[in-house]
């Protein structure tokens, strides 16, 4: 389903290869809801992939699936996830425990609920190290100090002795980042890591990610619903809609000349930059008509069809496969079918 036409990444050794991933949730009524259908993508070492998706697109399911952290009602039905050459879907629970936090770091959205309220910050970072490495107390403390110094340019010592409630949202997020990189992972998955932060802090956190990529060769999957966040940050962007990959390509290309009608419509919803067009202020913004489809009762055909301004007859009958529109840029839309 959606076979690859071109190798998307030049690297000889891919860090992550996701092939034909299908995941679904079962409701108590027995209804099955296909949250992810045929996801394919690759990630090279040190690459930053932005996963752009709105609510219901499957982006959080994707994050959870990659680490086998789906809730009891969720199940991966098909596909493979090759990480550093190993299929995660066939890994033992012990191996998975070593990989999570060890080889793959995780950063989720709510920094305030991810930190233990009554343990000092230093302790919480040490705990992550202790879970994955056998270090003596001295080495543990040394490494903890180094980690906090790598994410806090000033005051790392004071932060280490503080409790979470004394820290601002941005500071707490930095602590989560320290925990995520503690064991020197090759990949960090971040799900809306800057959602609750204000713009200046957001910019600083993105800069921190860039520095870590540079210093540690860290690859990253940044999941967000905000396209502007990925501009100038992600190397490539994967656009997710209703559990399918709509488009994937170099970030600058996807943002400046989007090809999939959904990506085009999504980017048009953003307020125009005020420098470009003063007359656009206080006018109606473009919206995408309709709503995302109910995944528990999908009809045949393209999942974006009912909201698409460029729909054709064929769109009602079949789901489009991925087609290359240029080097490294693929779109799943019948406009581009060969």
Partner 1 sequence: MQPLLKVENLVKHYAAGRSAGTKVKLAALDGVSLSIPSGETLALVGESGSGKSTLALCIACLERPTSGNIWFEGIDVTALDENQQRLLRPQIQLVFQDPASSLNPRWTALDIVSEPFLVQRHFTKPDRAVRALQLLDRVAIPRKMAARRADELSGGQKQRLAIARALALEPKIIILDEALSALDCSVQAQIANLLLELQCSLGLTYLFITHNFAMAAHLADQIAVMDRGRIVESGPAENVLRSPRHQATRSLIAAMPRFIETPGVLVHS
HEC profile of the chain = CCCCCCCCCCCCCCCEEEEEEEEEEECCCCCEEEEEEEEEEEECCCCEEEEECCCCCCHHHHHHHHCCCCCCCEEEEEEEEEECCEEHHHCCHHHHHHHECCCEEEECCCHHHHCCCCCCHHHHHHHHHHHHCCCCHHHHHHHHHHHHHHHCCCCHHHHHHCCHHHCCHHHHHHHHHHHHHCCCCCEEEEECCCCCCCHHHHHHHHHHHHHHHHHHCCEEEEEECCHHHHCCCCCEEEEEECCEEEEEEEHHHHHHCCCCHHHHHHHHCCCCCCCCCHHHCCCCCCCCCCCCCCHHHCCCCCCCHHHCCCCCCHHHHCCCCEEEEECCEEEECHHHCC
- Residue 136 binds partner 1 (CB under 8 A): no
Between 54 and 127, name the residue whose CB sits nearer to partner 1.
Answer: 54
Q: Candidates 25-33, 110-118, 177-185, 277-285: pick the segment binding partner 1 (CB under 8 A).
A: 277-285
Question: Considering the complex, what minimum distance in angstroms separates the CB of residue 208 from partner 1?
Answer: 14
Rule CB under 8 A: choose which of 112, 145, 272, 306 binds partner 1: 272
- Residue 90 binds partner 1 (CB under 8 A): no
Between 138 and 274, name the residue whose CB sits nearer to partner 1.
Answer: 274
Question: Considering the complex, what minimum distance in angstroms separates the CB of residue 152 from partner 1?
Answer: 18
Positions 215 through 244 that interact with partner 1 (CB under 8 A): 225-229, 231-233
Q: Is 178 within 8 Å of 123 (Cβ atoms)?
A: no
- Residue 256 binds partner 1 (CB under 8 A): yes
Between 69 and 285, name the residue whose CB sits nearer to partner 1.
Answer: 285
Nearest 5°: the CA angle 175, 176, 180 is: 120
> In the beta sheet, which residues pair with residue 236?
49, 250
Question: Considering the complex, what minimum distance in angstroms separates the CB of residue 183 from partner 1?
Answer: 29
Between 291 and 313, name the residue whose CB sits nearer to partner 1.
Answer: 291
Structure tokens at 315: 């769109």
Between 92 and 278, name the residue whose CB sits nearer to partner 1.
Answer: 278
- Residue 286 binds partner 1 (CB under 8 A): yes
Question: Considering the complex, what minimum distance in angstroms separates the CB of residue 288 from partner 1?
Answer: 5
Between 153 and 257, name the residue whose CB sits nearer to partner 1.
Answer: 257
Positions 148 through 177 that interact with partner 1 (CB under 8 A): 168-169
Question: Considering the complex, what minimum distance in angstroms separates the CB of residue 278 from partner 1?
Answer: 7
Q: Candidates 133-141, 212-220, 264-272, 329-337: pick the segment binding partner 1 (CB under 8 A).
A: 264-272
- Residue 26 binds partner 1 (CB under 8 A): no
Rule CB under 8 A: choose which of 69, 269, 312, 337 binds partner 1: 269
- Residue 285 binds partner 1 (CB under 8 A): yes
Positions 197 through 216 that interact with partner 1 (CB under 8 A): 197-203, 206
Positions 31 through 70 that interact with partner 1 (CB under 8 A): 54-55
Rule CB under 8 A: choose which of 94, 118, 274, 297 binds partner 1: 274
CB atoms within 10 A of CB 30: 6
Burial letters for 249-281: b for 16+ Cβ neighbours within 10 Å, e otherwise?
bbbebbbeebbbbbbbbbbeeeeeeeeeeeeee
- Residue 28 binds partner 1 (CB under 8 A): no
Q: Tell me which residues touch partner 1 (CB under 8 A).
A: 54-55, 168-169, 195, 197-203, 206, 225-229, 231-233, 251-253, 255-256, 265-266, 269-274, 278, 280-288, 291
């Amino acid at each position: 389903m959606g076979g690859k036409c071109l190798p998307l990444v030049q690297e000889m050794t891919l860090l992550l290869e996701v092939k034909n991933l299908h995941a679904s949730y079962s409701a108590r009524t027995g209804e099955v809801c296909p949250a992810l259908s045929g996801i394919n993508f690759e990630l090279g070492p040190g690459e930053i992939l932005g996963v752009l998706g709105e609510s219901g697109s499957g982006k959080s399911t994707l994050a959870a699936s990659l680490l086998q952290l789906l809730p009891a009602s969720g199940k991966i039905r098909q596909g493979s996830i090759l990480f550093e050459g190993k299929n995660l879907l066939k890994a033992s629970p012990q191996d998975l425990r070593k990989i999570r936090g060890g080889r793959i770091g995780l950063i989720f959205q709510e920094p305030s609920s991810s930190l233990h309220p009554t343990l000092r910050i230093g302790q919480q970072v040490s705990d992550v190290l202790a879970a994955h490495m056998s270090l003596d107390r001295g080495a543990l403390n040394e490494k903890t100090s180094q980690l906090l110094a790598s994410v806090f340019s000033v005051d790392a010592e004071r932060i280490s002795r503080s409790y979470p409630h004394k820290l601002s949202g941005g500071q707490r997020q930095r602590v989560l980042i320290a925990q995520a990189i503690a064991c020197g992972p090759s990949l960090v998955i971040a799900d809306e890591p800057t959602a609750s932060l204000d713009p200046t802090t957001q910019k600083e956190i993105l800069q921190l990610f860039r520095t870590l990529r540079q210093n540690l060769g860290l690859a990253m999957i940044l999941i967000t619903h905000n396209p502007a966040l990925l501009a100038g940050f992600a190397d490539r962007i994967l656009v997710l809609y209703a559990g399918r990959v709509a488009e994937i390509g170099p970030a600058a290309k996807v943002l400046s000349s989007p090809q999939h009608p959904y990506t085009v419509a999504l980017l048009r919803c953003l307020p125009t930059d005020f420098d470009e067009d003063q007359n656009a202020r206080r006018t109606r913004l473009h919206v995408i008509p309709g709503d995302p489809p109910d995944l528990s009762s999908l009809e045949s055909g393209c999942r974006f069809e009912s909201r698409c301004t460029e729909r054709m007859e064929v769109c009602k009958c079949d789901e489009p496969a991925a087609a290359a529109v240029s080097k490294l840029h693929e779109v799943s839309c019948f406009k581009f079918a060969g």
